[in-house]
Amino acid sequence: MPKSVGLSKDKNWWRQAAIYQIYPRSFADSNGDGIGDLKGVTSRISYLKSLSLDAVWLSPFYPSALSDGGYDVADYRDVDPRLGTLADFDELLAELHKVGIRIFVDIVPNHSSNLHVWFKEAIEAQPGSKARNRYIFRDGKGENGELPPTDWVSHFAPSAWTHESVMGGKGNQWYMHWFAPEQPDFNWDNPEVEKEFLKTLEFWADRGVDGFRIDVAHALKKDLSEPLRSLPVFETLEERGNKGKGILADRDEVFKIYKQWRKLFNQYDPPRVAVAEAFVHPERLPLYASTKTLGQCFDFRFIETPFEAAAYKESVQDALELALKNKSSCTWTLSNHDQIRHATKMGLNSAVDRRSWMLSNGTSHPLDMASGTQNALAATLFILALPGSTYMYQGEELGLHEVTDIPASQIQDPQYLRNNKMDKGRDGCRVPLPWQKSGSSFGFGTGGAHLPQPSWFADYSVEAEENDPNSALSIYRIALGLRKSLITEEKIKWHKSGNSSVLHFSRPNGWHCITNFRGESYPMPKGEILISSHPLTDGKIPAGTTVWLKK
């Protein structure tokens, strides 16, 4: 077992943390049923420790019928029996804390599962009842109420309304769901819902959970005033703008909820922290990330920013300016469980339409896996050197690529199954991790894997990379370790590189970061080389490489 180091005493630990997202069903399987579980995570504490992490964030492990990978929660205060028990959770938390790693859990407040006891009650209840008022039930339109109440669209189905009969209701109402029909939206205008979530937050905070990732944090409050307004397509973030008056999302009233949550978080020592997933106009991000509300908000810009010097610089500048507007710090992220793995994006010609490419099982255009992984590492070292927190996704430390050829019959994601198969969905980044070069499911477990793993996973396994000093895993380990000792004031200074493909910035303590995005090798500036994401060529920085220097 790794040596016990305990948690740092720093109350601001979250401002510049390295946080690693675990998708529990696909991390490690302890009992050979093909599904990752909490004991599996506990069995890999040494591995997590080797990455010098400040925290891990666990995607939902709650009881769920998996209509949306666990983001359809049937009980917010329990563990899915397939993933373990509350005692297993307590053990995992204790073991993580012993090695100095904190833990975030995922809170999904916008919607529950249709199997949640409240929704089951609601379906059985009468229109206008207390039970129905916890969700959004309405009469339909048309002569006999046979049409949905509005034209609202859902992310995973054409309409955001489903007739209650689909879920076994005997009446003639419809209920609203912004995601799959198995994910009914709560009515956050009902104080009972507010109270219930405070209890859930307290439940986990009392168990010792350090932080919360808030799913779809922008959507809790909706304009439910009658008559309900029309919204036949998703508003773009620009359309919704910075007014705080969206119909289905980003309404100013949502901050009342988060101010209450903040009060609860601050009752703990150290205060509990939170990070919002909010797809809003960039100018609205500081409201979610304020220290009076959730404290931090994902900034997803690097997920779509092309790997180019000018675009990267603009993204950083923008985010730093926004962070100045509140007392929060920046967040950086390249991948998560909803995105095509960034090594793959960076190995694909940027002109390629990724949706069609995925639908062609990755065959319509060539993927350069080696250069994708190389660019991904350069991007990682770039964001790790910036002020703020970095959120990483399991497997990116192996330079892992998207699995593009999952057979249609094995796809689990509603984004594919419910959208007329117009989008391959997100399973390709959720394939169980390869720990070993061979064996059942590459060491994920002894009983296969719940999504098929391709043969090339062998080369990206922990075992294959562990002893190679140039592997993605080795670079992550060294960089994350160095970063811990280099963290300094939340400021950067840009230096002229004299080359439009090269960015050079430094932090106040003389920590320099130089990235060569493309083209000719770049002469090494003076200083002590701490790490290079890719071997140098004749002492120069090759394209697709980041170097850290100390001056």
In Å, what is the CA distance from 365 to each residue of 339, 427, 451? 19, 20, 24
Q: Which stretch binds Ca ion (CB under 5 A): 34-42, 43-51, 155-163, 190-198?
A: 34-42
CA-CA-CA-CA dihedral for 322, 325, 329, 332, to nearest 10: -10
465 binds, among ligand GLC, Ca ion, none (CB under 5 to 8 A by kind): none
Interface residue with Ca ion, options 35, 334, 451, 541 (CB under 5 A)? 35
What is the rounded CA–CA span in Å between residue 30 and residue 211? 25
Nearer to ligand GLC, 66 or 103 (CB): 66
Q: Tell me the closest approach of the beta carbon of residue 31 to Ca ion, in angstroms.
A: 5
Q: Which does 20 bind (CB under 5 to 8 A by kind): Ca ion, ligand GLC, none?
A: none
Q: Is 396 in the site for ligand GLC (CB under 6 A)?
A: no
Interaction between residue 33 and Ca ion (CB under 5 A):
yes
The C-alpha atoms of residue 120 and residue 234 are separated, in whole angstroms, by: 29
Start-to-end C-alpha separation, the chain: 37
Judged by CB under 6 A, the chain residues 237 through 296 that form the site for ligand GLC are 277
Residue where the block lists tokens 């509140």 = 326
Name the residue number minimizing CB distance to ligand GLC: 71
Q: Which of 93, 101, 176, 216: binder of ligand GLC (CB under 6 A)?
A: 216
Match 């009658």 to its residue by tokens.
226
Helix 86-98 / helix 191-207 crossing angle, nearest 10 deg: 50
Residues 6+ apart with CB under 8 A from 496: 504
Q: Order of strands, edge to edge, in the sheet holding 502-506?
A: 493-495, 502-506, 511-516, 545-550, 528-532
Of 213 and 483, CB closest to ligand GLC: 213
Q: Closest CB to Ca ion belongs to which residue? A: 37
Binding range to Ca ion, per CB under 5 A, among 23-31, 110-118, 155-163, 348-356: 23-31
Among ligand GLC, Ca ion, none, partner that 108 touches (CB below 5 to 8 angstroms by kind): ligand GLC
Instruction: Note whether 68 binds ligand GLC by CB under 6 A.
Output: yes
Strands 161-163, 173-176: pairing is antiparallel
Evaluate whether 137 touches 122 at the Cβ level (below 8 Å). yes
Which one among 215, 299, 396, 397 touches ligand GLC, defined by CB under 6 A? 215
Taking the complex as a whole, how short is the minimal distance between the CB of residue 440 and Ca ion, in angstroms? 13
**CA 51/CA 20 separation, integer angstroms:** 9
Which of 254/472 has CB closer to ligand GLC?
Answer: 254
Span interacting with ligand GLC, options 68-76, 201-209, 249-257, 310-318, rule CB under 6 A = 68-76
User: Which lies closer to ligand GLC via its Cβ, residue 15 or residue 111?
Assistant: 111
How many other C-beta atoms are found inside a 10 Å radius of the C-beta of residue 131?
Answer: 16
d(C-alpha 545, C-alpha 245), whole Å: 43
**Residue 164 or residue 277: which is nearer to ligand GLC going by CB?**
277
* Rounded least distance, CB 69 to ligand GLC, Å: 6
DSSP letters, 170-224, are -SSEEEE-SS-TTSPBB-TTSHHHHHHHHHHHHHHHHHT--EEEETTTT-S----
Half-sphere exposure of 84 (CA within 13 A, CB side): 22
Residue 210, amino acid:
D
37 binds Ca ion (CB under 5 A): yes
Say whether residue 55 binds Ca ion (CB under 5 A).
no
Q: Which of 2, 8, 31, 77 binds Ca ion (CB under 5 A)?
A: 31
Question: Which of the choices Ca ion, ligand GLC, none does residue 338 contact, using the CB cut-off of 5 to 8 A by kind?
Answer: ligand GLC
Give min distance, CB of 337 to ligand GLC, in A: 6
Q: Is 29 in the site for Ca ion (CB under 5 A)?
A: yes
- Cβ within 8 Å of residue 16, ≥6 positions away: 329, 387, 388, 389, 487, 490
Are β-strands 331-333 and 295-297 bridged in parallel, bridged antiparallel, or unpaired? unpaired
Decide whether 24 or 69 has the Cβ nearer to ligand GLC.
69
Report how far residue 396's alpha carbon sits from residue 479's, in angstroms, rounded to the nearest whole number.
Answer: 14
Strands in 232-341 per DSSP E: 273-276, 295-297, 331-333
Q: Does the footprint of ligand GLC cover residue 179 (CB under 6 A)?
A: yes
Binding flag, residue 71, ligand GLC (CB under 6 A): yes
- The option from ligand GLC, Ca ion, none interacting with 152 (CB < 5 to 8 A, set by class) reads none
| Phi, psi angles (nearest 5°) of residue 529 | -75, 125
Q: Is 105 in the site for ligand GLC (CB under 6 A)?
A: no
Size of site (CB under 6 A) for ligand GLC: 10
Q: Does 108 bind ligand GLC (CB under 6 A)?
A: yes
> For residue 331, what are the β-bridge partners?
389
Q: How far is the CB of 460 from Ca ion (least distance, A)?
A: 22
Given a contact cutoff of 8 angstroms between Cβ atoms, the answer to whether 24 and 36 are in contact is: yes
CB of 426 to ligand GLC, least distance (A): 7
* DSSP structure class, residue 57: E
- Rounded to 5 degrees, φ, ψ at 315 are -60, -45
Closest separation in Å from C-beta 429 to ligand GLC: 11
Considering beta carbons, is residue 25 or 477 the nearer one to ligand GLC?
Answer: 25
Residues that bind ligand GLC (CB under 6 A): 68-69, 71, 108, 179, 215-216, 277, 337-338
Residues that bind Ca ion (CB under 5 A): 29, 31, 33, 35, 37
